[in-house]
Structure 1
């Protein structure tokens, strides 16, 4: 009745030789992009981060006004979408704009209400501070299957020569 997705078995990254090491994820991604742009089979490569750590960036205080504003903004988009779909099923010409504007208005009201209720419900957590969490690594290794590692290494030497040291 239900079909399951095929299982993809990836090679163990520890068994793949390192062909390049970079200080940031963006540099490693650009290196893999360079490999792809030069015809390398990038499905045989990967990026491994070492020395992972979680970084919490403080975005500011969570205020009732900020929560209501974020909820209203989300509600406007949802209301616009609902209004747009409703206008597709209304037979009369000229009804699309009022339906979309009405949807945006109601969406803003309900979104602001839900945002404010959520803020008031979680008031004690984190002392009203908003964080963004990310995972970063000390270094990023580009790895490749052993059969194509030399090709990748040779291409990355050209990439590093063009873009400067990592």
Structure 2
């Protein structure tokens, strides 16, 4: 059973169903790395970090364009992907069926994988009809990262993070 105040179940584990985070804010950071550094500092200081949650606030889906797509690139990528899968299947077939022979099974599976990879890539790219002629990578980022703590330890955690903020960073760390 989950407590409406702790966001945790009776075993102390986070709930399986999505629930809003709970706790009092003890720090707010502009990057995830800074929030992670703060929680790491708490952990190094024997703070009960199981009471801490990092919450990304004002989430954004950022899609970074990584390159242009063309038929040549699509078919090459599809063929290479199919070749890897075909090689994997060919090795498995030759290991579990020694009568088929090691070389022929791998070659047949490799060629079949390349053909299927090229066909599936062509169908997928062709179905877009030129509406998406680029590759991209998507990432979920937040405008800020709040560190929350359960009320019983929040004041101590806030004091520890305030002391961390006043310390100069070692020269090897990113600003």
What is the match of residue 117 of structure 1? 123
In the alignment, the residues of structure 2 paired with residue 31 and residue 120 of structure 1 have an alpha-carbon distance, to the nearest angstrom, of 48
Aligned to 1:78: 85
Q: Tell me the CA shift for residue 44 of structure 1.
A: 2.3
Q: What secondary structure does 2:80 align onto?
A: helix
CA distance in 1, matches of 2:164, 2:136: 36
**1:105 shift after superposition:** 3.2
C-alpha deviation, 1:140, in angstroms = 0.6
- Residue equivalent to 1:4: none
Distance 1:159 1:73 in 2: 50
Q: Secondary structure in 2 aligned to 1:27? A: helix
Task: Determine the structure 2 residue equivalent to 1:8.
Answer: 16
Residue-by-residue CA offset, 1:5-37 (whole Å, 9 max, x unaligned): xx6367742x41122222212332343344445
Distance in 1 between residues matched to 2:90 and 2:51, nearest whole Å: 46
Aligned length: 158
Instruction: Indicate yes or no: 2:60 matched with 1:53.
Output: yes
- In the alignment, the residues of structure 1 paired with residue 45 and residue 28 of structure 2 have an alpha-carbon distance, to the nearest angstrom, of 19
Provide closer, same or farther for how the CA distance between residues 42 and 74 of structure 1 changes in structure 2, counting only shifts above 3 A: farther
- The two structures, once aligned, show a CA RMSD in angstroms of 3.3
Higher relative contact order (CA 8 A, sep 6+): 1
**Whole-angstrom CA distance in 2 between matches of 1:156 and 1:104:** 56
Cα distance in 2 for partners of 1:41, 1:101 equals 57
CA shift for structure 1 position 41: 4.0
The alignment's TM-score, normalised by the length of structure 1, stands at 0.72
Q: Pick the aligned partner of 2:148 from 143, 148, 153.
A: 143
Q: Distance in 2 between matches of 1:92 and 1:17?
A: 67
Q: What SS is found at the alignment partner of 1:139?
A: strand
Q: Return the match for 1:21 from 22, 28, 44.
A: 28
